[in-house]
Amino acid sequence: MRAVVVALGKIGLPLAAQLARTGHDVIGCDIDERVVADVNAAREPFPGEAELGAVLEAVVLGEGPGRLRATTDTTAAVAGGPDLVVLVPPLVVDAQARPDWAILDAVIADVGAGLQPGTTVALETTVPVGTTRARLAPALEAACGLTAGKDFHVVFSPERVLSGRVFADLATYPKLVGGLDAAGEARGAELYAQFLPEVEIRAMGGAEAAELTKLVETTYRDVNIALANEFARHADALGLDVQAVIDAANSQPFSHVHRPGVAVGGHCIPVYPRFYLAGDPGARLPRAARDVNEAMPSYAVDLLGDIAGQTVLILGVAYRGGVKEAAFSGAFGLREELVRRGARPVAADPLYDAGELAALGFDAWTGEPVEAAVLQADHAGYAALTPADLPGVRTVVDGRGVLDPAPFLRADIALRRIGRP
């Protein structure tokens, strides 16, 4: 088949590459000229995605079936009449996770301007329930003058992958497809099956069911992590090791408690429960879970004790280890709480240079002595940290449970771990 993938970010580009490496001709579209140039040169526009470099080389420069090329002209790409157009633009949100539709609406307008009869349009960006039917389809119809369900099909198929392991996840989890009608859903499922041959393609019986499924997945994780954080705080009060307790509870098949930690960050888990609550404002557990998880950076600072006048190092501004992305990172909550309590926060992250840290609002640590530190992101290298790496430090909060306590104990440094002695 011929396909167009719009928005070549950390989800869209691997998806485009997957289409091409399974034998299909793909045009990737992005407004960033640098990204387009990188893709056309078979260069990775961003680091850290397993297999991406090799796959790009094969599908951009190789001679086999399936080709990928990139362009900034979305309308022209869609006007070529592809079988499938996949939309993966970011849905930007504010601090309260309220959507700003500007980017998605611009993408829809560009796609609609070139949309041809016979094409199926699939939205993979996570959205509030009802978006596909009430926003996407009418906007496409208005832009192209065609009728959804008659001249073209529209489906929702939520991305279910994690940055850094997209190809592995695409080959592991069922692909969910929900359409505006039965015919469109069947066509969408047929097209996805052509480039995801290893997994079940599950028809959901409607776009709304597919949209809700994605929100259920992520809201469950948020609620589960909040419960783990509640257990951790109680374990601290009791002097018990919550991880030993959770591991014991999870040793039977009906308990699946997640791990506690200093923060829940990223584009997904802090955001999508808010999308769920927008459609179900009376729901109590998702709202309580958000409150619990958003309070964890403050709790981590509680473990430092009195820090007024001290310099405190935040280790890691990325929202999770190994990923250069700071969306809703716990580092922001830590910074605000440290300032509120009269401390001077500085930050370090192996994935960010001083200028990038400054752009995020952090003073970069230059190696000067600090009185305290909070480990916020579980970067692999942090597991080997010792007191020698943190000159002057007297108190360390390990917000991810990755540090070896022994060298800190030998140096008479207070090492505090959430939910663990």
Give residue-wise pLDDT tens across range 62-103. 987 789 999 999 999 999 999 999 999 999 888 878 899 999
Residues 6+ apart with CB under 8 A from 280: 286
Backbone conformation region of residue 185, classed left if phi is above 0, alpha if psi is from -120 to 50, else beta: alpha
Pick from 65, 63, 64, 17: nearest CA to 38: 17
171 and 283 together in one domain: no
User: Nearest Cα to 110, choosing from 85, 84, 147?
Assistant: 85
pLDDT for residue 63 = 82
Spot the catalytic one: 10, 29, 268, 324.
Answer: 268
Assess whether 250 and 350 both reside in one domain.
yes
Distance CA 291, CA 297 (A): 12
Specify whether 214 is catalytic: yes
Return the pLDDT at 65. Answer: 79
- State pLDDT tens for residues 253-300: 999 999 999 999 998 999 999 999 999 999 999 999 999 999 999 999
Tell me if residue 324 is catalytic.
Answer: no
**Residue at 229 is within a domain:** no
Determine contact, residues 401/418, Cβ cutoff 8 Å: yes
Residue 161 lies in a domain: yes
Q: What is the pLDDT of residues 357-390, one digit of tens each?
A: 999 999 999 999 999 999 999 999 999 999 999 9
Query: Kindly report the CA angle at 255 between 210 and 297, in degrees rounded to 5?
Result: 80
**How large is the average pLDDT for residues 159-176?**
96
227 inside domain: no
What pLDDT was estimated at residue 296? 98
Which position among 29, 144, 214, 324 bears the catalytic label? 214
Specify the number of domains making up the chain.
Answer: 2
Residue 96 in domain: yes
Report which DSSP code applies to 148. Answer: B
Question: From CA 27, how far away is CA 215, in angstroms rounded?
Answer: 29
Q: Do 65 and 187 fall into the same domain?
A: yes
Q: Helix, strand, or coil here: 37?
A: helix
Do residue 201 and residue 326 come from a single domain? no
Is 348 a domain residue? yes
What is the residue-averaged pLDDT of the chain?
97
Residue at 314 is within a domain? yes
The confidence score (pLDDT) of residue 275 equals 95
What amino acid occupies position 3?
A
Q: Are residues 335 and 193 in the same domain?
A: no
Question: Same domain for 194 and 266?
Answer: no
Percentage of the residues of the chain whose pLDDT score is greater than 90: 95
What is the C-alpha to C-alpha distance for residues 53 and 378, in angstroms, rounded to an integer?
24
pLDDT recorded at residue 66:
83
Please check whether residues 172 and 61 belong to one and the same domain: yes
Question: Which residues, including other chains, have CB under 8 Å from residue 305's CB and lie 6 or more apart?
Answer: 395
Same domain for 267 and 200, yes or no, is no
Tell me, yes or no, whether 197 and 249 share the same domain. no
Query: 322: domain CATH number?
Result: 3.40.50.720
Q: How far is C-alpha 132 from the chain's CA centre?
A: 21
Q: Are residues 308 and 191 in the same domain?
A: no
Q: Rounded mean pLDDT of 31-49?
A: 96
Look up the domain containing 154 and give its range.
2-205
User: In a 10 Å sphere around its CB, with 0-12 CB exposed, 13-18 middle and 19+ buried, how is residue 309 labelled?
Assistant: exposed
- pLDDT, position 64: 77
- Say what the pLDDT of residue 222 is: 98
Say yes or no: 99 and 247 in one domain: no
Any domain includes 220:
no
Q: Does residue 245 share a domain with residue 200? A: no
Give the pLDDT of residue 96.
Answer: 79
Backbone angles phi, psi at 153, to 5 degrees: -115, 150
For residue 223, the model assigns a pLDDT of 98
Determine the Cα–Cα distance for residues 385 and 390; give it in Å rounded to an integer: 8
Residue 421 has pLDDT above 80, yes or no: yes
